[in-house]
A = this chain, B = another copy of it.
């Protein structure tokens, strides 16, 4: 009988370790130590420094499953000797839901109403019927488009690959200014790469309409903070809702905390509580595929870095 020796490491997060070990067994894998393993399920997104030493011990490892969708902490470890997968797509639904939350909050004025202690004049606009530009054409964009279907929005997606994405109009990265022009909502939902670092700069913000909201659920590094602060201060955009910042946690006293029309949530589009069951589902599914010899889900391109 064929065995499928798979390791889960490190054990620094007991709840995650246990959930993923159960997922390996349920998927048909045989739980072993790193030394004997042909595959490794990495069980602590914050434990990056231990990674090379553990990998070095696992000379038989051919496949490595990384947690989470954004893998930049591990990017410099990627190589062509291993098959790499990550959690991309796993967290798309809660993240897309958070985009809808932030978009509605901004467009309908909750940033003004929630802190108020007296009745105020009406502000805000509908999301229904709006034009939405999404930077990034991955799992979050797909889920967001799905969630927004009944809102009758017109969707534009900026992505490298020219393939269609559902009903969205697809723009190349070079045409991003055209994509955001006239949009009521601009969503940053791409991976952080050399190409996308600082993509939300003064030129990008200038292309946005004065009544448009920016929502960032990508990475803090996508935004040039000084340019955003200027746009918010001068009112050249309607507002910004940021679930990610650079650095994180955003320190008390940082000007973003008190910038006008700026909503900050502390990287909670997907929380560990919401995410772990979803990651365990993905690991179980991928282990089963590995055992059957099927293609894995969430493959990482070591060159592109996502």
Contacts and interface: CB of A to CB of B under 8 A. Distances in A.
A303 interface: no
A264 interface: yes
Interface residues of A, number: 51
A115 interface: yes
A21 interface: no
Contact of A268 (B101, B109, B146): B109
A118 to B, nearest CB: 4
Interface string A255-273: 0011000011111100111
Contacts of A109: 265, 268
B151 A108 contact: no
Contact of A128 (B97, B104, B125, B150): B97
A138 to B, nearest CB: 18
Contacts of A119: 248-252, 266
Interface in A191-206: none
B146 A116 contact: no
A15 B128 CA distance: 23
